[in-house]
Amino acid sequence: MKPLSLTARVSLLFAVVVAAVLLITGVLIARAVEHHFADEDHQEMLGKLELVRHLLARAHDQADLDALSQELNDALIGHPGLSVAVIDNHGQIWFATTAAAFPSHLLETHEPPGTLEQWAANGTEYRGIAMPVPVDGAPYTVALSVDIRHHDMFMAEFRRILALAMALAALSTAALGWMAARQALSPLKAMARTATSISADKLSERLPVAGAPDEIRALAEAFNAMLARLEDAFRRLSDFSSDIAHELRTPVSNLMTQTQVALARTRSAEEYREVLESDMEEYERLARMIGDMLFLAQADNHMVVPHRETVDLADEVRRLFEFYEALAADRDVRLVLDGEAQVSGDRLMLQRAISNLLSNALRYTPSGGSIGVRLASDGETCRIAVSNPGPTIPARHLDRLFDRFYRVDPARREGGGHTGLGLAITRSLVEAHGGTIQAVSGDGMTRFDIMLPCRRPAARQEG
Amino acid sequence: MKLLIVEDEPKTGEYIRRGLTEAGFVVDRADDGRDGLDLAMTGGYDLVILDVMLPGLSGWEILKALRAAGHELPVLFLTARDQIEDRVRGLELGADDYLVKPFAFAELLARVRTLLRRGKQAPAAEMLAIADLELDPVRRRVTRAGQRIELTPKEFALLELFVRRAGEVLPRALIASQVWDMNFDSDTNVIDVAVRRLRGKIDDGFEPKLIKTVRGMGYRLDDASAE
């Protein structure tokens, strides 16, 4: 079943609550009114009883009693619903107004005297009281009753109006609740409309935040922040594809040009060999780039560290120094290692990560400078800092250094083994180990800091 | 030396076969997994080159079946993906080496030769010599035309590799792996600079020049005057 809309739920809840409250109130009012009527009847009858008793108290013999009958009739005139009966000590009705009909239980068990009773006779509701009254020393009983048909009619009408009012109130509350909920939720609808219209080419759109209630504003702001992250990732990705195209264009156009020139006329075997050799260099460049890009694509699909062991970072750095020794000597650059640290990780991956940083540092260190690798560990986090003298990198470039193909100076395209993916690969490798990397630059020094958890992370979040 | 290549991509398979044949090997080729396994079991090969993705049986399954049947011949596998999991899995299953596509043919050739040479290497104590260059692996001394040449330990290791494999083209990646144990696509500039510095010590001022650049492939040490 389709779940009810929020608006419907809110209005339904309003209606139910209001109806329940009104129902309870209505029942209480109806009971109070009824009780009030009963009380009023009781008081009236007690008054009349007092009158009858007073009259009876004056009678001392049969003649007095006979005269009293007329007096009683007079006293009770103008009370159409009221009936009075006086019963003597033998159970005989001594005096009764017309239409008086009393149930026997009222006359026999008037304990305590004057208790209000209610009964029905011939389709009419009555209330009545009875009380013993001594007449000339004999225990007579006086009974009174009122016809409460008009009360009942009033109560029925009262209940009908009450029910109608309650129904109307419940309905109008539901309607008001519906309107209020719709009004309150209308920013959500606006957000949904905007969200529907957002597609890959319109990622710069944002949900309206101004004027939205607090609860919805938090949602809209979270949604907008997500859009901003998506937009950024999307922009980087699309930059990446255009960069790939750009990077591939140069070697491919070299290949085409030199091959076409070679084919334009017949050449000597030596010349053909030269073309093939030159082609080979471009192919190698392409192959390297493809290899690096595949590696990164894999890294995007949560790369795992396949083979963990305890890696002595100082050992690895020394081995890398041996590798870069010739290049450093050639450029008159010194390589300096300081400190030590051990981490749990894949030796080959960590070696590659540090190797890329060294290769990068060697490219920018001026002749006579020295590249420092400083290792430190506090038992929790291992820090690998690779620093080199070189031109200060403006702060706005520092974060993007790890983007694929990102170059501080776009005009600078390097040949050799550099695909422009080295730092991106380093970051992926570090992140696969649960670490972070950042670059700082200033006062003619650039430093890359890798922070790695020393021990194997207890439970790594996958995917 | 008899080699088997199991590769289903016709152009790749054919070029590898041709290249290896021209390098002096006897080469058979199978283009699906089942034929490949049958041939490998019965053909008496010295080495098998296996593609991982094959119709019929995968390279892994062939490798497993071969090892289960007790065949210890060296296996080099080719994988299309640079997946570290692939590397680990292949080596666990008993492969001897692997190459990630796209690879350079010179690289494949050099690795095939390395695998075939394994266990048959000349004793380390033996003096090595080519033209007037002499190399003593035990005392780690090098002389050229009787003159003592001072080399750093890595320069010595590089020269020893060249001399032991004289006449072979050694690709840069192979050099990085054999001399420095760098087994990933590292900075190739480093190899060029290291070779250039080695040349400066053993070739500058001497004739004939021993270390040659083979463009697009790598480096080769040989004595041209001896041919």
The two most distant CA atoms of chain B are separated, in Å, by 60
Per-residue pLDDT tens digits for A317-375: 999 999 999 999 999 999 999 999 999 998 888 999 999 999 999 988 999 999 999 99
- In this prediction, residue A411 carries a pLDDT of 55
Distance from CA of B35 to the nearest CA of A (A): 30
> Chain A contact for B217, CB < 8 A?
yes
Contact (Cβ atoms closer than 8 angstroms) between residue A385 and residue A374: yes
- In this prediction, residue A353 carries a pLDDT of 92
- In this prediction, residue B27 carries a pLDDT of 93
CB contact under 8 A, B216 and A276: yes
Query: Which residues in chain B are contacts of A288 at CB distance < 8 A?
Result: 185
CA distance A245 to B216: 24
- In this prediction, residue A320 carries a pLDDT of 93
Contact (Cβ atoms closer than 8 angstroms) between residue B143 and residue B149: yes
CB contact under 8 A, B180 and A322: yes
Burial of A295 (0-12, 13-18, 19+ CB in 10 A): buried
Average pLDDT, chain A: 83
Chain A window 11-70: which residues touch B at a Cβ cutoff of 8 Å? none
CB contact under 8 A, A290 and B102: yes
Choose, out of B89, B105, B184, B196, the residue to mutate when testing the contact with A (most A CBs < 10 Å). Answer: B184
Kindly state the average pLDDT of the residues B6-13. Answer: 90
Kindly state the average pLDDT of the residues B152-163. Answer: 92
> Chain B contact for A357, CB < 8 A?
no
- In this prediction, residue B29 carries a pLDDT of 93
pTM of the model: 0.64
Residue B54, token pair as written in the block: 């094959």
Residue B115, Cβ neighbours under 10 Å: how many?
18
Query: Which residues in chain A are contacts of B184 at CB distance < 8 A?
Result: 348, 351-352, 355
Residue B62, token pair as written in the block: 């062939």
- Answer yes or no: is pLDDT of B219 > 70: yes
Q: How far is CA A85 from CA A49, A93, A138, A344, in A?
A: 10, 7, 16, 110
CB contact under 8 A, A351 and B182: yes
Residue A277, token pair as written in the block: 């050799």
Query: Which residues in chain B are contacts of A346 at CB distance < 8 A?
Result: 84
CA distance B75 to B111: 11
CB contact under 8 A, A355 and B216: no
Query: Which residues in chain B are contacts of A291 at CB distance < 8 A?
Result: 82, 100, 102, 185
CA distance B159 to B131: 14
CA distance B99 to B107: 9
Chain A window 383-422: which residues touch B at a Cβ cutoff of 8 Å? 416-418
Q: Which long-range contacts (CB under 8 A, 24 or more apart) does A227-230 make?
A: A227/A198, A227/A203, A230/A203
Per-residue pLDDT tens digits for B19-78: 999 888 999 999 889 999 999 998 889 999 999 888 888 888 899 999 898 888 899 988
Residue A66, token pair as written in the block: 């006979």
Q: End-to-end distance of chain B based on CA atoms, in angstroms?
A: 24
Kindly state the average pLDDT of the residues B145-153. Answer: 91
Distance from CA of B44 to the nearest CA of A (A): 34
Between CA A370 and CA A378, with CA A374 as vertex, the angle to 5 degrees is: 170
Per-residue pLDDT tens digits for A170-190: 888 888 888 888 887 787 787
CA distance B199 to B197: 5
- In this prediction, residue B83 carries a pLDDT of 59
Choose, out of A323, A333, A355, A363, the residue to mutate when testing the contact with B (most B CBs < 10 Å). Answer: A323
CA distance B114 to B108: 10
Cα pseudo-dihedral B29, B31, B35, B37, rounded to 10: 80
> Chain A contact for B85, CB < 8 A?
yes
Which percentage of chain B shows pLDDT scores above 70?
A: 92
> Chain A contact for B91, CB < 8 A?
no
Low-confidence stretches of chain A (pLDDT beneath 50): 416, 459-463
- In this prediction, residue B129 carries a pLDDT of 87
What residues contact A241, with CB distance under 8 A and at least 6 apart?
Answer: none
- Answer yes or no: is pLDDT of B192 > 80: yes
Burial letters for B16-43: b for 16+ Cβ neighbours within 10 Å, e otherwise?
A: bbeebeebebebbbbbebebbbebbeee
